[in-house]
Amino acid sequence: MINSGPVLSAEQFQQLQILDTCTVSNAIETFGVRLRNEGFAHGSIRCQFPRLSPMLGYAVTGTIRASSAPMSGRCYYDRIDFWRHVLSVPPPRVIVLQDTDPMPGFGAIFGEIHTRICMALNGVGYVTNGSVRDLGAVEKTGFHLFSASVAVSHAYAHIVEFGEPVELGGLKVRPGDLVHGDRHGIHIIPPSIAGEVPRAAAELVRREKELIELCASPDFTLDALEKSFDAMKQERLCD
């Protein structure tokens, strides 16, 4: 079942899309909707193209394997049923595939061809605990790749299942989840507060700017720093 929540307007989506993941993560914390050790992938899932602007899209989930041939005997890219399923998730789309091989990353299912197909279907990025390849060609397209490794070959890479929740890098992802990523990594923006995150982020940025200016000021003292922290606590910008 696709994760549902309040539908973001085009303006709300654009406001979120320009924010970096650290700012958004800090903003999410102010709502108290989840524990602070949840909602993000740990460092094993790395951004392959850190110079790209942030990625934001709705998750299309599935599982893959590469160390053995698919039971159907199809070639690795022949899964029209999967690509039809991709269209069932609202755009823009982020493909999130959990590699279930005993040694994830043995072969890469996503390279230039899958990138081109995905982009034609309004896809903006791919996330996996496995591997990716064709980095040079993919980077030129502006398509995002997040993975635990890179690989030379696709080996027997193939889709096993799709449309169910997956877990990678300690992050549980459900179909339709709002996935946000940049050079720092990826996380999920809770749908219940997604539309309010830009406002909270703006307040945090304002307070952080004031704190940075204080640190650079000749009038800096620990008493002034404590006062700034107290003000942030009163505004629930930190706990």
Nearest partner of 47 among 14, 18, 17, 21, judged by Cα: 21
Look at strands 93-99 and 131-132 and give their pairing. unpaired
Residues above pLDDT 70, as percent of the chain: 92
Task: Give the separation between CA 16 and CA 198, rounded to whole angstroms.
Answer: 6
pLDDT of 181 > 80? The answer is yes
Which pLDDT score, from 0 to 100, does residue 8 have? 87
Confidence (pLDDT) at 70: 77
Residue 1's pLDDT is 57
Q: In whole angstroms, give the CA distance from residue 199 to residue 155.
A: 46
3-state SS track over 39-93: CECCCCCEECCCCCCCEEEEEEEEEEECCCCCCCCCCCCCCHHHHHHHCCCCCCE
Contacts of 219 (CB under 8 A, 6+ apart): none
Is residue 234 scored above 90 in pLDDT? no
Where does the pLDDT of residue 76 fall: very low under 50, low under 70, confident under 90, or very high at 90 and above?
A: low
Q: Give Cα separations from 72 to 43, 99, 133, 183, 200 (angstroms).
A: 35, 18, 24, 37, 49
**Beta pairing class for 144-147 and 46-47:** antiparallel
The whole-number pLDDT of residue 71 equals 64
Q: What is the pLDDT of residues 114-137, one digit of tens each?
A: 999 999 999 999 999 999 999 999
Q: Report the sign of the C-alpha dihedral through residues 76, 151, 40, 121, in that order.
A: negative
Position 5 pLDDT exceeds 80: no
Band of pLDDT at residue 68, cut at 50, 70 and 90? confident
pLDDT at 6 over 70: no
Per-residue pLDDT band at 49 (split at 50, 70, 90): very high
Give the DSSP H/E element, type plus range, for residue 178: strand 178-182
Position 233 confidence tier, pLDDT thresholds 50, 70, 90: confident
Pairing of strands 93-99, 55-65: parallel
pLDDT, tens digit (0-9, with 9 covering 90-100), for 10-22: 999 999 999 999 9
pLDDT tops 90 at residue 4: no
pLDDT band at 228 (very low <50, low <70, confident <90, very high): confident
On the question of pLDDT at 140 being above 90, the answer is yes
The number of beta carbons lying within 10 Å of the beta carbon of residue 6 is: 12
Nearest to 25 by CA among 53, 5, 4, 54: 54
Instruction: Note the residue count of the chain.
Output: 239
Segment 196-207 mean pLDDT: 93
pLDDT at 79: 82
Instruction: Judge contact between 63 and 97, C-beta under 8 A.
Output: yes
